[in-house]
Structure 1
Amino acid sequence: PCWWSFSHITSSDEADILYKKIEVLAKCHDKAVLDSLEYFAVLAAQQLGLTLERVYEPKKKIERLTLLKSVHIFKKHRVQYEMRTHYRCFEFKHLTGSTANVYLEYIQRNLPEGAALEITKTTLEKLPDHIKYPVWDQLSNDENEKTS
């Protein structure tokens, strides 16, 4: 029918970025929400065929705040508040830039309330020309040329 529209796929000559490792660190104050996020993230990674190397739980951070109960006096009477931050880390290996962008955008758009993501991307790059050969090899060649 005439209401169908076909999108044209465009291809570029640019090479896609290759990531050696991508770490996604999820932070949340509620452990149940973090468990739900882990289930969702792992399921989405399996559906996209990503290589999820490991999922681990770093140590939680506990921050305590001690305040006086009274506004003016009574220093003996205090109240203590505690803020716990739970973490969950997902490590992905060998991803392309386009696949990583699609997955990370999907995860971020479906992020539950009170959760935050911290993403670290590691790429392999070619060594620059001025670093390829050791400096001491060049120095010994220069000294040999000076003496002869």
Structure 2
Amino acid sequence: MKTKWIQVIAVAAAVAVAGGLMAGCDDAETDSALQITPASSVITGQGTTLFLTASDPDEVDAAATNLNDMAILPLQWSVSNPTLGRILSSAGYSAVYESHGGRGQNMVIVTDHFGREGIAVVNHRWESELEDETPAATLL
């Protein structure tokens, strides 16, 4: 009787371990987001452009990694507010954002082949606003 209980406990433990291993075997490719560099920018004026690059933040050194080895292409680039700006061009892991002028905040979204997304924020300001943010000289 004692050996029967030991066998039942051993089988239950083996099933629990196997179930835990199977649950932990998710595809890591789909569990992470993409990163856009720069993540946040301030631009002024109509026609101003900004160069953006997408990468995988899970890579140890994304700048030194050959992203062509990763199967995330093609990338789809879009913006949340097309009245502020647009994606002028894109190729590979890079895109060029162009400002339509105006003032506000626009999000640039990149989506890869697996559905992973990355977001960067582009703050549109008027030139006079940037001058107002310059700290005044202090008198001694």
TM-score using structure 1 length: 0.29
If asked which structure has higher relative contact order (CA below 8 Å, sep 6+), I would say: 1
Which has the larger share of helix? 1
Mark the structure with the bigger radius of gyration: 1
